[in-house]
Amino acid sequence: MTAQIIDGKAIAQQVRAEWKIRSDKLIAQGVTPGMAVIIVGNDPASKVYVANKVKACAELGLYSIHVEMPADTSEAALLAEVDALNKNPAIHGILVQLPLPGHLDAHKVIEAINPDKDVDGFHQMNVGALVTGETPFPSCTPYGVMVMLEKTGIQIEGKHAVVVGRSNIVGKPMALLLLHKNATVTICTSKTVDLAKHTRDADILVAAVGKPNFITGDMVKPGAVVIDVGINRNSDGKLVGDVDFASVSAVAGFLTPVPGGVGPMTITMLIANTVRAAERLSGLVKHADAE
Ligand code: NDP
């Protein structure tokens, strides 16, 4: 079998066009969705991510600001910045680029964000809402995976989904979103015994491990849908996923590439969450319709 490659770039473009229509409606009524990104310090990867987020906003006609703070920023100064953005009516979505320098408590900072502006979906209130199935802001990477599956026409209900990884930003919300769509979900971690036994049983396998080429063809059920969330550099400095593309593409039915798979969806869903936040906060779209 040769896997069908899921083109994340093409799906992301299509989804952005759909959200642009919603955003343009708001703009026509005098509300430009606005996003603020706070970055603390000089981490080069974080700077690239922030630049990409700001660029995506500009492409869709959204307003965005990015606040750069020095690496030695105090917690009080960072919390004051978050507070100012919470009160800024031009800003509907706030995100704090992670990781933060070690002296800053990311949990405390995220909890300071107004949950109605928490477009990353990391605030406890939105995480709790995700558990009960009602969050307005699913965290962007797993949300992007769900949209990819939907746009590719992959059935989720009744399937066995195996998520490898349990981080708060990818693995756990991924498992919950799949569960809400009536998959039977298994979560594997570094402590799982006989990982391959579980992954080989997956109809839908999501790898969010952070280890290059970790999932190999012998760990995959023939015809399975394999979603590679990983973004890693291999020893040659090349960008690779958690899935060994060569061996898995010979076994799987569907596979996302890295780059060009899940990555483009993440920023797209951040845009979606920001537009949804603006719809809700402006009162121009009823909450029930701002889904
Ligand atoms: P974390 O490091 O926070 O989590 C990794 C998870 O993998 C942990 O739950 C860990 O288990 C598990 N794990 C590690 N080793 C094994 C193993 N041998 N067997 C089974 N499970 C294992 O990473 P993230 O969730 O933040 O990110 C995962 C990957 O996704 C990274 O490559 C990251 O760069 C990428 N990423 C990509 C995004 C995108 O837009 N495409 C967005 C966010 C992340 P345990 O909990 O037991 O330690």
Rounded to the nearest 10 degrees, the angle between the axes of helix 8-28 and helix 262-282 is 20
User: b/e string for 221-238 if b means 16 or more Cβ within 10 A?
Assistant: beebbbbbbbbbeeeeee
The pLDDT of residue 40 is 97
Q: Is 102 helix (H, G, I), strand (E, B) or coil?
A: coil
Catalytic residue status for 53: yes
User: b/e string for 265-286 if b means 16 or more Cβ within 10 A?
Assistant: bbbbbbbbbbbbbbbbbbeebe
Mutation pick for ligand 1 pocket among 209, 229, 234 (CB with most ligand atoms within 8 Å): 209
Query: How many whole angstroms from 124 Cα to the centroid of ligand 1?
Result: 20
Please tell me the distance from the alpha carbon of residue 223 to that of residue 2, in angstroms, as a whole number: 9
Q: Could you tell me where in the chain the CATH 3.40.50.10860 domains are found?
A: 30-114
Nearest CA to ligand 1 atom 19: 190
pLDDT at 287 over 90: no
Helix ranges, the chain (H) = 8-28, 44-59, 75-87, 106-112, 124-132, 140-151, 171-180, 195-199, 245-249, 262-282
> pLDDT-based confidence at 285, cuts 50/70/90?
confident
- Triad 187, 191, 195: Cα angle to 5°: 60
Q: Name the percent of the chain lying above pLDDT 90.
A: 92
Note the pLDDT tens digit of each residue in 71-94: 999 999 999 999 999 999 999 999
Q: Which of 53, 117, 159, 221 is catalytic?
A: 53
Catalytic residue status for 97: yes
pLDDT at 152 over 60: yes
Is CATH 3.40.50.10860 the right assignment for the domain spanning 30-114?
yes
The pLDDT of residue 284 is 86
Q: May I ask the CATH architecture of the domain 140-263?
A: 3-Layer(aba) Sandwich (3.40)
Helix ranges, 152-261 (H) = 171-180, 195-199, 245-249
